[in-house]
Amino acid sequence: MATTNFRSEIWAAQLLESLKKDHVLASVANRNYEGEVQAAGQSVRITSISRPTVSDYSGSVTYEELSDAQQVLFLDQKNYFAFKVDDVDRAQAAGNFVGMAMQEAAYAMRDDADLFIASLYTQAASANVITTTQVTDGDKAYTMLKDLMVKLDTSNASRSNRWAVVTPWFHGLLLTNDKFVDYSASQSREPLTNGRIGRALGMEIYVSNNLTNTTGDDWTILAGSSQAITYAEQLMTVEAGRHQASFGDYVRGLFIYGAKVVHPGALAYGIASIT
């Protein structure tokens, strides 16, 4: 890739496409405010309105003042990548050398963003927490999913667009449980992309290596609805030029993102212990 052939908007689009394909945790969050953040800059204020009171009608109507509250979504997580492409290496490399490097950059940034979103589990409503539980077989794994579903139901979380994210070992246990396997097999066969492994208990189930290891062999298992977490990202810049200290080009990019639990009652988690 000579700098004369570099087109920032094309490389940025390819990088963002790679990011969207690889996200797991970000794919279960909503992006309701991403457009506003991109237009406004580093943050956006999220306004919520109190629920109106529903009263019995007896011939007269009383009007109430609705209250509002604001939360702020900050794009305060900043990552960059920067690499150089030696002229000799580029000449000898087979295939799209720089294109593959950009895909790897997207993969690395995806991991950082997903790890950050996974770390927000502590912001779930306290009533939606299952304390450390031994999960050593398929029945116990399925039971934890069921208990997380009940937590969400009890907190009036929306039933639409529900999800759960589990670890690979937790998924392995689920595959030994007939309830999970039979239910998933009965669903329409959609492409299992972005870590999606099936559906059970009214939730889309995803697998990820980025869930939080709280201690030892204890791992978080997350569940929620799409209203729970909001996420936004910006690829601030992708640029290239001739490297001043060598015969080659450089490529670099700045990636900014942020996430926030906006509805704690729509997020639940359990601590699953392997042993």
CA distance 192 to 207: 11
Q: For the stretch 235-252, what's the b/e string if a residue is b when 16 or more beta carbons lie within 10 angstroms of its beta carbon?
A: beebebeebeeeebbbbe
What are 144-185's pLDDT values in tens digits? 999 999 999 999 999 989 999 999 999 999 999 988 877 555
Question: Which fold would CATH assign to domain 123-228+265-273?
Answer: capsid protein of prophage fold (3.30.1930)
CA distance 221 to 211: 7
DSSP collapsed to 3 states, 160-178: CCEEEEECHHHHHHHCCCH
Residues 6 or more apart whose Cβ sits within 8 Å of residue 73: 33, 37, 43, 44, 46, 230, 232, 258, 259, 260, 262
Question: Which fold would CATH assign to domain 3-118+230-259?
Answer: Major capsid protein gp5 fold (3.30.2400)
Query: How is the chain split into domains, by residue range?
Result: 3-118+230-259, 123-228+265-273
Name residue 172's amino acid.
Answer: G
Using alpha carbons only, what angle is made at residue 268 by residues 267 and 273, rounded to the nearest 5 degrees?
A: 145
CATH topology match: 3-118+230-259 vs 123-228+265-273:
no
DSSP collapsed to 3 states, 26-84: HHHCECCCHHHHHHHCCEEEEEEECCCCCCCCCCCCCCCCCCEEEEEEECCEEEEEEEE
Q: Encode the chain (275 residues) as per-residue pLDDT tens digits.
A: 455 555 555 556 666 665 555 578 988 998 887 766 655 457 776 665 556 778 888 878 888 776 555 577 888 888 888 877 776 555 545 455 566 777 778 788 888 999 999 999 999 999 999 999 999 999 999 999 999 999 999 999 999 899 999 999 999 999 999 888 775 555 544 545 567 888 899 999 999 999 999 999 999 999 999 999 999 888 767 777 777 777 777 778 888 889 999 999 999 999 999 99
